[in-house]
Amino acid sequence: MDKLLIEGGLPLRGEATVSGAKNAALPMLTAALLTAEPVTFTNVPELNDIGTMLRLLAQMGVKVERQGGTVTLDASGLDQPVAPYEMVKTMRASILVLGPLVARMGEARVSLPGGCAIGARPVDQHIKGLSAMGAQISVEQGYVHAKCSRLSGARLFTDMVTVTGTENLMMAGCLAAGDTVIENAAREPEVVDLANCLVAMGAQISGAGTDVIRIRGVERLHGATHRIMPDRIETGTYLCAAAATGGDIRLTGTSASYLDVVIDKLMDAGCDIATERDAIRLKAPGRLTAVSIRTAPYPAFPTDMQAQFMAINAVADGTAIIRETIFENRFMHAVELIRLGADIRIDGNTAVVQGVAKLDGATVMATDLRASAGLVIAGLAAQGQTLVDRIYHLDRGYEGLERKLIALGARVRRVK
Ligand code: UD1
């Protein structure tokens, strides 16, 4: 299993380009299931999760063409509306095929994702919504089996804000008969990007980006070309890496408009941030000031940036309170950060981080994608060598991580 060896203590300096957003690309690739015409996506990041999704779609009969960051999907030959356990277990986002498959094929068999390292993560809201649209759903032998001649528009209300739940139901609504209204919808920028792509394919959607999304169902969708938005979590991760190391970096191919709260917090921590239309520059202070955060659905502070902020608080001046309200078990990086010398106490969904003057390199274990990002940031800030084990998590979500870090002056190396 690959590991990342980091020689810490060097400030990050220079420029890097942010990739397309994983969490926008994944639902968008499944949107291609909704039409028999080819759909082309550009700015698709080269990530293991994207590879998994393309293999899953190919297995269903979708023709996949990929050239660098451009992917064309042709679902005219779609004939196997099945997502098997072997694929779903490696990537929960596979559940995103459920809505498009029932909507276009009238049938889907999708393995239940089960739990994952950061919590139980059920998909009951996806199922509840599709049932309200008329799908007959049974759960047998670990698979969700959904059937329906044609979905009917309905008024849907999700019990909690769910990103992929909103996306699944929005895609299903596009081909349903009549109007669908999703209340308590997720407002994440990736939901808006997906809606823009669906509209380019002929869907009638309004309200994406607010908590009420309205969809007027159409008979069919057509092909389109869509550029995937920049990855706001990758952007935030590099900004934190620069902040933690006392660096000065400029990120291009991204936009501050998706990151208001993260940028505010970095400024509260003492960073100097200048934004351009499609670039962000961060200059870190001599020492960061601790900043407290509370995760919540967009536009509040993203849970996917929580681990990175725990890392920067570990070396900041003062005490930070970190409250995680989205996932029940998302502090596994804390014990690893403690191995590097961080002073962190956990009480339920709250972490109290008392900043220390310096961290010392050690071997740490990555447990999930964003936890790994937090460990890399801490390793870059620590004195001496840090070995991050199980970096396959990082390969799921960060395109060219070592390449970009090296371009920013970090001393990192992948070891087998
Ligand atoms: C998406 C993101 C993930 C991010 C998360 C929260 C993708 C591919 N992944 O995950 O990176 O961390 O949003 O911003 O976009 N829940 C239920 N029942 C459901 C659905 C969700 O109880 O049917 C709960 C979950 O367990 C969790 C909360 O709702 O506690 C929010 O989860 P959700 O927004 O659905 O996360 P994902 O869409 O899986």
Rounded to a whole number of angstroms, the distance between the first and last alpha carbons of the chain is: 6
How far is Cα 151 from Cα 176, in angstroms, rounded to an integer?
5
**Ligand 1 binding pocket, CB closer than 6 Å:** 23, 26, 92-93, 119-126, 160, 162-165, 190, 303-304, 326-327
- Cα 230 from chain centroid (whole Å): 11
**Six-digit token pair at 152?**
């009917």
Q: What is the pLDDT of residues 55-112, one digit of tens each?
A: 999 999 999 999 999 999 999 999 999 999 998 888 889 999 999 999 999 999 999 8
Query: Which of ligand 1's atoms lies nearest the C-alpha of 369?
Result: 11
What are the angstrom distances between the C-alpha of 350 and each of 307, 347, 374?
13, 5, 17
Quote the ligand 1 centre to 24 CA distance (angstroms). 14
Catalytically annotated residues: 116
How far is Cα 123 from Cα 297, in angstroms, rounded to an integer?
17
**Amino acid code (one letter) for 62:** V
**Six-digit token pair at 20?**
């397309």
User: Is 237:1 a contact under the CB 8 Å cutoff?
Assistant: no
Whole-structure pTM value: 0.97
Residue 121 has pLDDT above 80, yes or no: no
Quote the ligand 1 centre to 414 CA distance (angstroms). 31
Residue 359 has pLDDT above 60, yes or no: yes
User: Is 105:77 a contact under the CB 8 Å cutoff?
Assistant: no
Task: Output the residue whose Cα is nearest ligand 1's atom 4.
Answer: 304
Q: What is the pLDDT of residues 189-237, one digit of tens each?
A: 999 999 999 999 999 999 999 999 999 999 999 999 999 999 999 999 9
Quote the ligand 1 centre to 210 CA distance (angstroms). 17
